[in-house]
Structure 1
């Protein structure tokens, strides 16, 4: 496929959950996608899913060669550099970065008991990794011809409102909002748009516990509703396919009845 006719995306954390759903959605709707994640086998599973006959109307089986799996630890600068070099070599340009890789860290650990190395791991993955990927994408989008592209950061509901015992995750997700705003401002002269999607209770392995019980601010354990992760993927694709003259700066998509509005 000609890189000038096909949109090119990088999706981090593409081996599972939201990243996998977004990558498959893009691949099945005509994009070529570099799949980035820590485990090559799960990235290859994502690529194989996109090649299966789709159930959703309006989507197609992804063409062979549209997916590129690149084992990447986003917290390592050398891995990120290798990822974007592979994208340039394979596809020639970059139209979208979905900055999705992240970790919640140890769950249910009070502030005073959180080990520093656990804090550092969450910061390195969620914030430093997002910065490294955004910086590499920004450079490529600025230098390529035609110039420009789009970065979408996965912020989370926790970019607005924390859950109990989630200080590392919440701090990094609040920081991502600042990253989004700065990228959006600095990218204006180069046709680089940046937006953020804040997601609440999409049904993935990471949120499976929500259906059996999640700790609330009042100390109770309460089951929470979840939504189909495919709805998140369609929202990301809508943001991604806008012309560069338009941008969804912030979008919040969540299970309708989750305890977010009025949380506390």
Structure 2
């Protein structure tokens, strides 16, 4: 049985933050399943490296916090492939652990620009394309975080940004209904990437101590995104949490 999310024989995905980590994992999983995948990021070299790993991957340099870049990304995707069936809104930014009263506005704004504004801009362009294409509709998957549920100490910019992504997800779930646009969120804990893998060496805990935490193979995040992406549009995973089972999240640690 086909896993195509539309009646189109071509399945086209846009993956932001596609040059490394979770974005790379998702792009490779989708391409391996026969999707045409456009990966976006700010640096050309990592994007080209991912594109060299598999057929069906097209790299486009784009800063998701810039409106013109995002419009170009989606216009180029449509020009090349004719449609967009999936957006994996993956690009995000973090900040070093900092006491709340020491967080400077530039750091706060940098996290918000990529994680919140970037997610909105990409979702807006995907929405514009998906509602007008034939067959109509598509799917948006937002990369939230365990921090969209429960914060780590001294991480206000990232925590607030990821809670905002959850709000965007819920709004898209509602506003996409008339146009066959489904939206879900994947919340990932401690994938072994440059951003999340540091927990293995030690993560600051609420009691003030730093302790090592378990991590998981980042390839599992790509498999999870592929599962969500492959559902028919009549089915949606509203929220999926994936994490090592012994990660301190559920309960008290």
Is the pair's TM-score, using the shorter chain for normalization, greater than 0.5? Answer: yes
Deviations 1:140-199 (A, max 9, x none): 000101100000000000000000011000001001111000001000011000000000
Structure 1 residue 77 corresponds to structure 2 residue 40 = no
Q: CA deviation at 1:263?
A: 4.3
Q: Structure 2, unaligned stretches of length 5 or more?
A: 1-6
State yes or no: 1:88 paired with 2:78: yes
User: Which of these residues, 147, 151, 156, is aligned with residue 145 of structure 2?
Assistant: 156
CA distance in 1, matches of 2:82, 2:58: 13
- 1:9 and 2:30 correspond: no
1:49 match: secondary structure: coil
Which of residues 46, 66, 69 is equivalent to 1:42?
46
Please provide the CA RMSD for this pair: 1.1
Q: Secondary structure at the match of 2:224?
A: helix
Pick 1 or 2: higher relative contact order, CA cutoff 8 A, min separation 6.
Answer: 2
> Could you tell me how far apart the structure 1 residues matched to 2:226 and 2:164 are?
24
Question: Out of 216, 235, 239, which is 2:228 matched to?
Answer: 239
Matched with 1:173 is 162
Verify: 1:121 aligned to 2:125, yes or no. Answer: no
TM superposition score normalised by structure 2:
0.96
Unaligned runs of 5+ in 1: 51-61
TM-score (norm 1): 0.92
Which residue in 1 is equivalent to 2:27?
A: 23
Shift of 1:5: 1.7
- 1:57 matched to which residue of 2? none
User: CA–CA distance in 1 between the matches of 2:224 and 2:230?
Assistant: 10
